[in-house]
Amino acid sequence: MHFWFNDEHEMLRNVVREFSEKEIRPKIRELDEKEEFDREILDKMAEMGFLGVCIPARYGGAGMDYIALGIVSEMLEWGDTAFRETISVHVALNSLAILQWGTEEQKQRWLVPQARGEKIACFGLTEPDAGSDVRNMRSRAVRKGDVYILNGEKMWITLADVADHFLVFAKTDPEAGHRGISAFLLERGMKGLKTGTIHGKMGARASNTGFIVMEDVEVPVENRLGEEGEGFKIAMSALDNGRYTVAAGATGVIRACLEESIAYAKQRVAFGRPIAEYQLVQQMIANMQQRLDIATLLTYRAGWMKNQGLRNTRETSLAKWYATEAAFASANEAIQIHGAYGYSNEYNVERYLRNAKGAVIYEGTSQIHTLLQAQYALGYRVDKPLRCELPPYDAEEWSREA
């Protein structure tokens, strides 16, 4: 395992940082205040290849590795959380799930246009009464001949109201608990499929977050992802990918808080000296640097494991848990360093704190990850091989065109 990025990774980091500096940061304050989703920025992300960054070229992607996925997530969130969320949902939760579990026909139909950015995809797992408690989902899928009839509602779904494709989960056997959940690929325009936008969020306000309603939606059997009853495994394996991008994004928040706090502390004068010279300010700066280094190591260790084709559920959980808590703590200290100015939206750190709070809740609350890590340590939880593992990265194979 190498603890450094190669030249391709460093170049990608610079490209995404420049993109965030040019395309996101000049607009984000207005987008955040108005709670507006900017489709133009999304289209530019597609043009840059971000929406298929770690998808093999034969499926329309950029053919880069999972470390590259982390870098794109980190540096987009350095710009703003809303745009990292797009990568988490469109790429990590949806597209990688199709790459891992889909048939060749499904990959051609769904994955190729998503990797090219021609279609936007979302992931529908959470429900009004079922967040961390996935087993309690109420969505139902009843098979009738060659179709399933889906009914149910999904809530807090990123990109719900702008997506073209939907990966949703429903119970095909309500009596079987989590073993009775199946996964389905839907597309906008299906009769009975409705979406809407949720307003009034604390953070990530430039991201589209909404709900999905399914009322007797007829879904062909060939749209089922994986086998009947494999939905829980598919969802959990997808979350390994989503949590990785959340951890990487949180690392970007820490980086942004550190950079802006250093710049402000050096130019802000109090009692005749730059506040950077005061030890308690230095302590907060040191805290952020420590968190950045730890979050970076934990996150990209998980990315390295993905590249090797190794199961990384525990490592990704740990990275997500640590990095998101560290991002929230760093944003809080960044506001403290900025003083009264940090409490207003004149500086970015106010937005960082609001955005960072969401990440300790979605894709597994900090409390859920605490329990997971304890169960791993105690030996109560052991990961078993899946029928379909996420494919390891192969530079030659992934760069080959169709």
Positions marked active-site: 363
Identify whether the C-beta of residue 141 lies closer than 8 Å to the C-beta of residue 172.
yes
The C-alpha atoms of residue 221 and residue 217 are separated, in whole angstroms, by 12
Long-range contacts of 53-57 (CB under 8 A, 24+ apart): 53/87, 53/91, 54/91, 54/96, 54/393, 55/91, 55/95, 55/96, 55/99, 55/111, 55/115, 56/99, 56/397, 56/398, 56/399, 56/400, 57/398, 57/399, 57/400, 57/401, 57/402
Look at the alpha carbons of 185, 127, 158, 178 in this order and tell me if their dihedral is positive or negative. negative
Residue spans of beta strands (DSSP E) within 206-274: 209-220, 224-225, 269-270, 273-274
Phi-psi region of 379 (alpha: psi -120 to 50; beta: other; left: phi over 0): left
Question: Residue 70 in contact with residue 76, Cβ under 8 Å?
Answer: no
> How many CB atoms neighbour CB 204 within 10 A?
26
